[in-house]
Homo-oligomer: A and B are copies of this chain.
Amino acid sequence: MDLLQDAIKKLQVKPGEHIKLKERDPRDKCGFEDEVKTEAQTAIIAQEIDQLQDRLYAEGKRALLVVLQGMDTAGKDGTIRGVFNTTGPIGIAVTAFRQPTENELAHDFLWRAHAACPRRGTIGIFNRSHYEDVLVAKVRGFAPKDAIEQRYEQINAFEKTLIENGTVILKFMLHISKKEQAERLQERLDNPKKHWKFNPGDLEDRKLWDEFEDAYETMLHRCSTKWAPWYLIPADRKWVRNAAIAGVVQATLEDMNPHYPQVSWKPTDFKIV
Protein backbone atom coordinates (compact mmCIF):
# COMPACT_ATOMS: atom_id res chain seq x y z
CA MET A 1 0.00 0.00 0.00
CA ASP A 2 2.88 2.36 0.77
CA LEU A 3 4.41 1.26 -2.49
CA LEU A 4 1.13 2.13 -4.16
CA GLN A 5 0.90 5.53 -2.49
CA ASP A 6 4.45 6.24 -3.59
CA ALA A 7 3.67 5.08 -7.11
CA ILE A 8 0.58 7.25 -7.23
CA LYS A 9 2.46 10.35 -6.18
CA LYS A 10 5.04 9.73 -8.87
CA LEU A 11 2.35 9.44 -11.52
CA GLN A 12 0.82 12.82 -10.68
CA VAL A 13 1.83 15.73 -12.85
CA LYS A 14 2.58 18.67 -10.56
CA PRO A 15 0.80 21.93 -11.32
CA GLY A 16 2.96 23.91 -13.72
CA GLU A 17 5.32 20.98 -14.40
CA HIS A 18 6.79 20.76 -17.89
CA ILE A 19 6.89 17.12 -18.91
CA LYS A 20 8.76 15.89 -21.96
CA LEU A 21 6.98 12.74 -23.01
CA LYS A 22 10.04 11.46 -24.86
CA GLU A 23 11.88 11.46 -21.51
CA ARG A 24 9.22 9.27 -19.89
CA ASP A 25 9.32 5.52 -20.37
CA PRO A 26 5.96 4.06 -21.46
CA ARG A 27 7.28 0.62 -20.48
CA ASP A 28 7.95 1.64 -16.87
CA LYS A 29 6.56 -0.81 -14.35
CA CYS A 30 5.67 1.78 -11.67
CA GLY A 31 7.09 -0.49 -9.01
CA PHE A 32 4.89 -3.43 -9.95
CA GLU A 33 7.14 -6.41 -10.56
CA ASP A 34 5.28 -9.60 -11.27
CA GLU A 35 2.64 -9.58 -14.02
CA VAL A 36 0.53 -12.52 -12.80
CA LYS A 37 0.57 -11.38 -9.19
CA THR A 38 -0.21 -7.78 -10.17
CA GLU A 39 -3.16 -8.84 -12.32
CA ALA A 40 -4.56 -10.86 -9.42
CA GLN A 41 -4.21 -7.81 -7.15
CA THR A 42 -5.91 -5.61 -9.72
CA ALA A 43 -8.85 -8.00 -9.83
CA ILE A 44 -9.20 -7.70 -6.06
CA ILE A 45 -8.94 -3.92 -6.23
CA ALA A 46 -11.62 -3.91 -8.94
CA GLN A 47 -13.94 -5.68 -6.48
CA GLU A 48 -13.10 -3.15 -3.80
CA ILE A 49 -13.94 -0.36 -6.26
CA ASP A 50 -17.30 -2.04 -6.79
CA GLN A 51 -17.93 -2.05 -3.03
CA LEU A 52 -16.88 1.58 -2.68
CA GLN A 53 -19.13 2.47 -5.59
CA ASP A 54 -22.10 0.94 -3.77
CA ARG A 55 -21.40 3.22 -0.82
CA LEU A 56 -21.02 6.22 -3.13
CA TYR A 57 -24.40 5.37 -4.68
CA ALA A 58 -26.08 4.92 -1.30
CA GLU A 59 -24.65 8.22 -0.07
CA GLY A 60 -25.84 9.97 -3.23
CA LYS A 61 -24.02 13.22 -2.54
CA ARG A 62 -20.84 13.13 -4.57
CA ALA A 63 -19.66 11.81 -7.92
CA LEU A 64 -16.41 10.61 -9.46
CA LEU A 65 -15.42 11.59 -12.98
CA VAL A 66 -12.69 9.53 -14.63
CA VAL A 67 -11.20 11.05 -17.79
CA LEU A 68 -9.25 8.79 -20.14
CA GLN A 69 -7.08 10.29 -22.85
CA GLY A 70 -4.37 8.87 -25.04
CA MET A 71 -3.25 8.31 -28.60
CA ASP A 72 -5.19 5.79 -30.70
CA THR A 73 -4.75 2.23 -29.34
CA ALA A 74 -3.49 3.62 -26.00
CA GLY A 75 -5.97 1.34 -24.23
CA LYS A 76 -8.91 3.48 -23.18
CA ASP A 77 -11.45 0.70 -23.77
CA GLY A 78 -9.08 -1.85 -22.26
CA THR A 79 -8.73 0.25 -19.12
CA ILE A 80 -12.49 0.41 -18.69
CA ARG A 81 -12.66 -3.37 -19.06
CA GLY A 82 -9.69 -4.03 -16.80
CA VAL A 83 -10.63 -1.67 -13.98
CA PHE A 84 -14.40 -1.22 -14.12
CA ASN A 85 -15.92 -4.41 -15.55
CA THR A 86 -16.52 -5.63 -12.02
CA THR A 87 -18.37 -2.45 -11.10
CA GLY A 88 -22.10 -2.92 -11.57
CA PRO A 89 -23.75 -0.84 -14.31
CA ILE A 90 -26.25 0.78 -11.93
CA GLY A 91 -23.81 3.37 -10.67
CA ILE A 92 -21.53 3.86 -13.65
CA ALA A 93 -21.92 5.52 -17.03
CA VAL A 94 -19.40 5.56 -19.86
CA THR A 95 -19.48 8.37 -22.41
CA ALA A 96 -17.42 7.99 -25.56
CA PHE A 97 -16.67 11.39 -27.06
CA ARG A 98 -16.85 10.89 -30.79
CA GLN A 99 -16.51 13.44 -33.55
CA PRO A 100 -18.86 16.22 -32.47
CA THR A 101 -22.27 16.32 -34.11
CA GLU A 102 -23.62 19.40 -35.81
CA ASN A 103 -25.73 20.10 -32.74
CA GLU A 104 -22.76 19.76 -30.42
CA LEU A 105 -20.68 22.06 -32.61
CA ALA A 106 -23.48 24.61 -32.37
CA HIS A 107 -22.58 24.97 -28.67
CA ASP A 108 -19.39 25.82 -26.81
CA PHE A 109 -16.93 22.94 -26.58
CA LEU A 110 -17.68 22.23 -22.90
CA TRP A 111 -21.42 21.89 -23.45
CA ARG A 112 -21.47 18.21 -24.31
CA ALA A 113 -18.94 17.39 -21.61
CA HIS A 114 -21.02 19.13 -18.97
CA ALA A 115 -24.15 17.32 -20.12
CA ALA A 116 -22.36 13.98 -19.75
CA CYS A 117 -21.05 14.61 -16.23
CA PRO A 118 -22.01 11.93 -13.70
CA ARG A 119 -25.01 12.47 -11.46
CA ARG A 120 -24.36 12.40 -7.74
CA GLY A 121 -23.79 8.89 -6.42
CA THR A 122 -22.27 7.61 -9.65
CA ILE A 123 -18.98 7.20 -11.47
CA GLY A 124 -18.78 8.76 -14.92
CA ILE A 125 -16.10 7.63 -17.33
CA PHE A 126 -15.12 9.84 -20.24
CA ASN A 127 -13.58 7.79 -23.06
CA ARG A 128 -11.88 10.80 -24.64
CA SER A 129 -13.28 14.05 -23.33
CA HIS A 130 -13.32 17.83 -23.55
CA TYR A 131 -9.54 17.54 -23.84
CA GLU A 132 -9.96 16.52 -27.48
CA ASP A 133 -10.66 20.21 -28.00
CA VAL A 134 -7.07 21.08 -27.12
CA LEU A 135 -5.61 17.95 -28.74
CA VAL A 136 -6.97 16.90 -32.11
CA ALA A 137 -8.65 20.30 -32.48
CA LYS A 138 -5.27 21.96 -32.04
CA VAL A 139 -3.23 19.60 -34.22
CA ARG A 140 -5.80 19.57 -37.00
CA GLY A 141 -6.68 23.24 -36.67
CA PHE A 142 -10.39 22.68 -36.06
CA ALA A 143 -10.59 25.97 -34.17
CA PRO A 144 -8.67 29.26 -34.36
CA LYS A 145 -5.42 29.35 -32.37
CA ASP A 146 -6.68 32.13 -30.13
CA ALA A 147 -9.78 30.18 -29.24
CA ILE A 148 -7.76 27.08 -28.38
CA GLU A 149 -5.36 29.16 -26.33
CA GLN A 150 -8.29 30.28 -24.15
CA ARG A 151 -9.58 26.77 -23.65
CA TYR A 152 -6.99 25.65 -21.09
CA GLU A 153 -8.19 28.16 -18.53
CA GLN A 154 -11.81 27.52 -19.48
CA ILE A 155 -11.28 23.82 -18.79
CA ASN A 156 -9.59 24.56 -15.46
CA ALA A 157 -12.48 26.79 -14.41
CA PHE A 158 -15.02 24.20 -15.53
CA GLU A 159 -13.32 21.44 -13.59
CA LYS A 160 -13.02 23.67 -10.52
CA THR A 161 -16.76 24.22 -10.64
CA LEU A 162 -17.34 20.47 -10.80
CA ILE A 163 -15.03 19.82 -7.86
CA GLU A 164 -16.60 22.56 -5.75
CA ASN A 165 -20.00 21.00 -6.41
CA GLY A 166 -19.10 17.51 -5.30
CA THR A 167 -17.49 15.78 -8.28
CA VAL A 168 -13.99 14.45 -7.79
CA ILE A 169 -12.03 14.29 -11.04
CA LEU A 170 -9.32 11.82 -12.03
CA LYS A 171 -7.58 12.41 -15.34
CA PHE A 172 -5.42 9.69 -16.82
CA MET A 173 -3.21 10.11 -19.85
CA LEU A 174 -2.38 6.67 -21.19
CA HIS A 175 1.13 7.03 -22.50
CA ILE A 176 2.19 4.56 -25.17
CA SER A 177 5.25 4.52 -27.38
CA LYS A 178 5.09 4.95 -31.13
CA LYS A 179 6.51 1.45 -31.48
CA GLU A 180 3.79 -0.06 -29.28
CA GLN A 181 1.12 1.74 -31.30
CA ALA A 182 2.53 0.21 -34.50
CA GLU A 183 2.22 -3.26 -32.97
CA ARG A 184 -1.34 -2.65 -31.81
CA LEU A 185 -2.44 -1.23 -35.16
CA GLN A 186 -0.82 -4.19 -36.93
CA GLU A 187 -2.69 -6.55 -34.60
CA ARG A 188 -5.95 -4.89 -35.65
CA LEU A 189 -5.04 -5.57 -39.28
CA ASP A 190 -3.91 -9.14 -38.66
CA ASN A 191 -6.81 -10.29 -36.48
CA PRO A 192 -10.13 -10.37 -38.39
CA LYS A 193 -12.01 -10.04 -35.07
CA LYS A 194 -10.30 -6.68 -34.58
CA HIS A 195 -10.82 -5.33 -38.10
CA TRP A 196 -13.79 -3.27 -36.98
CA LYS A 197 -11.53 -1.43 -34.55
CA PHE A 198 -9.15 -0.35 -37.29
CA ASN A 199 -9.80 3.10 -38.61
CA PRO A 200 -7.66 4.08 -41.61
CA GLY A 201 -7.80 7.64 -40.26
CA ASP A 202 -5.68 6.53 -37.31
CA LEU A 203 -2.73 6.27 -39.70
CA GLU A 204 -3.12 9.94 -40.58
CA ASP A 205 -2.99 10.85 -36.89
CA ARG A 206 0.05 8.60 -36.49
CA LYS A 207 1.92 10.70 -39.07
CA LEU A 208 1.37 13.66 -36.74
CA TRP A 209 2.77 11.83 -33.69
CA ASP A 210 5.14 14.64 -32.70
CA GLU A 211 2.48 17.31 -33.07
CA PHE A 212 0.11 15.29 -30.87
CA GLU A 213 2.88 14.78 -28.35
CA ASP A 214 3.38 18.55 -28.21
CA ALA A 215 -0.33 19.10 -27.69
CA TYR A 216 -0.40 16.51 -24.88
CA GLU A 217 2.59 18.16 -23.20
CA THR A 218 0.89 21.57 -23.27
CA MET A 219 -2.29 20.01 -21.90
CA LEU A 220 -0.39 18.35 -19.02
CA HIS A 221 1.45 21.57 -18.31
CA ARG A 222 -1.55 23.86 -18.31
CA CYS A 223 -4.37 21.65 -17.03
CA SER A 224 -2.77 19.65 -14.24
CA THR A 225 -4.23 21.67 -11.40
CA LYS A 226 -4.11 21.05 -7.69
CA TRP A 227 -7.85 20.39 -7.74
CA ALA A 228 -7.74 18.07 -10.75
CA PRO A 229 -4.24 16.78 -11.47
CA TRP A 230 -3.33 14.71 -14.49
CA TYR A 231 -1.88 11.26 -13.97
CA LEU A 232 0.65 10.18 -16.58
CA ILE A 233 0.28 6.42 -16.92
CA PRO A 234 2.93 4.29 -18.62
CA ALA A 235 0.67 2.23 -20.87
CA ASP A 236 2.80 -0.01 -23.08
CA ARG A 237 2.21 -2.79 -20.56
CA LYS A 238 -1.51 -3.27 -20.14
CA TRP A 239 -1.20 -4.92 -16.73
CA VAL A 240 0.84 -2.01 -15.36
CA ARG A 241 -1.63 0.48 -16.80
CA ASN A 242 -4.61 -1.31 -15.22
CA ALA A 243 -2.86 -1.77 -11.87
CA ALA A 244 -1.81 1.86 -11.66
CA ILE A 245 -5.22 3.24 -12.59
CA ALA A 246 -7.12 0.80 -10.38
CA GLY A 247 -4.85 1.82 -7.51
CA VAL A 248 -5.48 5.52 -8.00
CA VAL A 249 -9.25 5.02 -8.34
CA GLN A 250 -9.45 2.86 -5.24
CA ALA A 251 -7.29 5.20 -3.17
CA THR A 252 -9.41 8.15 -4.30
CA LEU A 253 -12.71 6.48 -3.41
CA GLU A 254 -11.31 5.41 -0.05
CA ASP A 255 -10.24 8.96 0.55
CA MET A 256 -13.74 10.18 -0.37
CA ASN A 257 -14.98 7.60 2.16
CA PRO A 258 -18.67 7.65 1.22
CA HIS A 259 -21.14 6.82 3.99
CA TYR A 260 -24.53 5.23 4.07
CA PRO A 261 -26.80 8.22 4.66
CA GLN A 262 -28.49 8.98 7.95
CA VAL A 263 -32.25 8.90 7.79
CA SER A 264 -34.60 11.28 9.54
CA TRP A 265 -36.84 8.54 10.98
CA LYS A 266 -36.57 5.66 13.44
CA PRO A 267 -37.30 2.10 12.29
CA THR A 268 -39.97 1.92 15.00
CA ASP A 269 -41.84 4.83 13.37
CA PHE A 270 -43.25 2.35 10.89
CA LYS A 271 -45.35 -0.77 11.02
CA ILE A 272 -45.72 -2.74 7.84
CA VAL A 273 -49.16 -4.23 7.41
* Chain A residues within CB distance 8 Å of chain B: 50, 58, 60, 77, 80-81, 84-90, 92-94, 96, 125, 127, 182, 185-186, 189-190, 192-193, 195-198, 200, 203, 206, 260-261, 263, 265, 267, 270, 272-273
A92:B90 contact, CB within 8 angstroms = no
Q: A58 with B263: in contact, given A81-B90, A88-B85, A272-B186 (CB under 8 Å)? A: no
A196:B93 contact, CB within 8 angstroms = no
**Which residues of the partner chain B approach A206 to less than 8 Å between Cβ atoms?**
272
A270:B189 contact, CB within 8 angstroms = yes
Q: A89 with B125: in contact, given A196-B58, A196-B260 (CB under 8 Å)? A: yes
Q: How many copies does the complex hold?
A: 2
Q: Which single member of B94, B189, B203, B263 contacts A267 (CB below 8 Å)?
A: B189
- Complex: A267 Cα to B166 Cα, angstroms: 48
- Complex: A176 Cα to B79 Cα, angstroms: 39
B89:A196 contact, CB within 8 angstroms = no
CB distance from A240 to the nearest CB of B (A): 20
**Which residues of the partner chain B approach A92 to less than 8 Å between Cβ atoms?**
89
B93:A272 contact, CB within 8 angstroms = no
- Complex: A168 Cα to B195 Cα, angstroms: 26
CB distance from A273 to the nearest CB of B (A): 8
A200:B90 contact, CB within 8 angstroms = no
- Complex: A60 Cα to B186 Cα, angstroms: 22
CB distance from A87 to the nearest CB of B (A): 7
Chain B residue with the shortest CB-CB distance to A77 = B90
Write 30 A-B pairs (CB below 8 A) sorted by A numbering: A50-B85, A58-B196, A58-B197, A80-B90, A81-B88, A81-B90, A85-B89, A87-B89, A89-B89, A89-B93, A89-B94, A89-B125, A90-B94, A90-B96, A90-B127, A93-B93, A93-B94, A182-B272, A182-B273, A185-B272, A189-B267, A189-B270, A192-B260, A195-B260, A195-B261, A195-B267, A198-B270, A200-B270, A203-B270, A203-B272
- Complex: A196 Cα to B59 Cα, angstroms: 8
**Which residues of the partner chain B approach A87 to less than 8 Å between Cβ atoms?**
89
- Complex: A272 Cα to B90 Cα, angstroms: 40
**Which residues of the partner chain B approach A200 to less than 8 Å between Cβ atoms?**
265, 270
B94:A263 contact, CB within 8 angstroms = no
**Which residues of the partner chain B approach A60 to less than 8 Å between Cβ atoms?**
196
**Which residues of the partner chain B approach A77 to less than 8 Å between Cβ atoms?**
90
**Which residues of the partner chain B approach A195 to less than 8 Å between Cβ atoms?**
260-261, 263, 267
Q: Which single member of B84, B260, B272 contacts A88 (CB below 8 Å)?
A: B84
Q: A85-B86, A189-B270 are in contact. List 18 more A-B contacts (CB 8 A).
A: A58-B193, A58-B197, A80-B90, A81-B90, A89-B92, A90-B127, A93-B93, A93-B94, A182-B272, A189-B267, A189-B272, A190-B267, A195-B267, A196-B260, A196-B261, A196-B263, A198-B270, A203-B270
